[in-house]
Amino acid sequence: MAQMQELIRYLTAAGSAMAPESRDSYLLFTNEDSSLICKRWSGSEFNESEIIAEKVRPNSSATYFLTDSTRIVFCISEDSTLRALKYDPDEEDWVDVEGTTNHKVHPESHVAGFIGPDHKRHVIFQDSSSHLVCLDESMALTSLPVDAVPGTPITTTFVKTLDGGIQMLVFYFGHRQTFAYP
């Protein structure tokens, strides 16, 4: 039963990340006040909680990039724009990252992300026309050649190729019974 509860906890979260220094995880949730909240989960209880952002879209998904030195969260704002927030240890607060709010997203879009083989952040979401796009760390936008259903859930994973390389897969629901890119 404990494993089922753990799975449900992750499935109902807006996003999550593993703590680099321990086996704890950070789970992201939106609340009724349109705030994005991060809760640290030890595996048996929530230990701490913090507000990352206000004015996020209700039920926004989020992606959390967490390293020993950097904490960045991408979510969707109330006005359906992509929003990135970075934790500033000097301010002891989350601050908006410039350059992300000019990316309009579909009103039903989700957001997912990954660190690529290039060791850079990549964020996947549906633009205002419902095209699946990838925003890289330099804020360059690439449209993926897929026909995704508006509002599709999005997730990513890496697989080892036959030649020993690594390939990133984006999972989504498509109009033509497709579900993965490439």
What number is the average pLDDT over the span 38-51? 92
Q: Is the peptide bond before 182 cis (omega within 30 degrees of 0)?
A: yes
3-state DSSP assignment of residue 60: coil
CATH number of this structure's domain 2-102: 2.40.128
Beta strand ranges found along the chain (DSSP E): 15-18, 25-30, 36-41, 46-53, 63-66, 71-76, 82-88, 93-96, 111-115, 121-126, 132-136, 141-143, 155-160, 166-171, 180-181
> Is 25 within 8 Å of 41 (Cβ atoms)?
yes
Placement of tokens 């995704």 in the chain: 148
Model confidence pLDDT, tens digit, residues 76-129: 999 999 999 999 999 999 999 987 778 999 999 999 999 888 889 999 999 999
What band does 1 get if pLDDT is binned at 50, 70 and 90? low
Model confidence pLDDT, tens digit, residues 132-171: 999 998 889 999 999 999 999 999 988 888 998 888 899 9
Q: What is the identity of the amino acid at 164?
A: G
What number is the average pLDDT over the span 38-60? 93
